[in-house]
Amino acid sequence: MDKRALFVSACVILVAAACSESKDAADTSGPAVDMAALHQEEYAGMRAAFCPPPPGQQASSPIPTSGDLSVEPAKIFDNLYFVGNKASSSWAITTPEGIIILDAGFHYSVKETVVAGMEKLGLDPNDIKYVIVSHGHNDHFGGAKFLQETYGAHIVMSEADWQYMVTWPQKGSPAPFPEHDIVVHDGDEVTLGGTTVRIVVTPGHTPGTISPIFPVTEGGETHLVGYWGGDGAGYLPPEEMQTYIDSATRFMDLDPAVDVELSNHAAADGTLLKLPVLKARKPGDPNPFISGHAAFREWVGVLRSCASDYLAQKKSS
């Protein structure tokens, strides 16, 4: 990383007022966070994680699975909380009638991420009514059985991924499967306590990956999250890469009101860049998780371009 990149990085995280080298630093009337710089850093992280490595270089593994993976749980919006870690993200959507969890994380970390994170934030895991599992890989369904058995939560997946989950060869320490439960299809809705999560099926990463769209609120305003359920296409056969590309194309244009991008890996949605900005936020500062629709489209476009690059590479080899 060159010096300029380091400087941009520091500016993004420390907020512009703290960037003493910036020519504009003295102008305290400007935006507190350089959102454009934040997005560029977010996209660079995505490319490092999900695009083919430059020629002659080994693919890096930017999604850590060992060492200190802990991330402070955090309230992101009035009704949305981060309860994941550096390896795998989970989110809690709160409603007056209970809680919906998006992705359960690994089976060996669900207690310290989802459960302990919720308790630290004042949420009661007994209120979990649904766990929407984006897809049948064990970094996302792994904790589902525990949440199902312990709290009676309903597990929601596409039928394609209920099937995929039990046939996909798990590496490392295999996660236990939840009992077959709720099946959703494209266009279905999961509604709890007045909040509706719209189910969008975006095959590619797996045959039945779910990418939900749902509302969040802050300051009396409603924003719409587009949650991409399957990060990465590099491991797929070429025809499934094309399916992934087609799903991304559909998802980016599905709803012009989507203005927040989220996913289930921090490497994909810049969560680790945005959390410290959110924490340092002063009254009136923007929420760094609100990107606007154009940036949301650009973000999906980066994920799509990574898949396109892998596909081009496969075709030329």
- For Zn ion, the binding residues (CB under 5 A) are 137
> Which residue is associated with the tokens 């989802």?
114
| Distance in Å, CB of 149 to Zn ion, minimum | 23
User: Residue 4 class from Cβ within 10 Å (0-12 exposed, 13-18 middle, 19+ buried)?
Assistant: exposed
| Distance in Å, CB of 265 to Zn ion, minimum | 9
Distance set, CA 35 to CA 215, 228, 270, 288, 314 (Å): 21, 20, 12, 7, 35
Using CA atoms, how far apart are residues 112 and 117, in angstroms rounded to an integer?
7
Q: Token digits for 82?
A: 């981060």
| Nearer CB in complex with Zn ion: 99/132 | 132
DSSP 264: S
- Residue 46, SS3 per DSSP: helix
| Distance in Å, CB of 132 to Zn ion, minimum | 15
| Distance in Å, CB of 45 to Zn ion, minimum | 17
| Nearer CB in complex with Zn ion: 107/137 | 137
CB 169 within 8 A of CB 201: no
Distance set, CA 228 to CA 93, 125, 215, 225, 268 (Å): 16, 24, 15, 9, 9
Residue nearest to Zn ion (CB): 137
| Distance in Å, CB of 16 to Zn ion, minimum | 35
DSSP 126: G
| Nearer CB in complex with Zn ion: 137/223 | 137
| Nearer CB in complex with Zn ion: 86/137 | 137
| Nearer CB in complex with Zn ion: 79/271 | 271
Closest CA to 273 of 61, 43, 27: 43
| Nearer CB in complex with Zn ion: 77/177 | 177
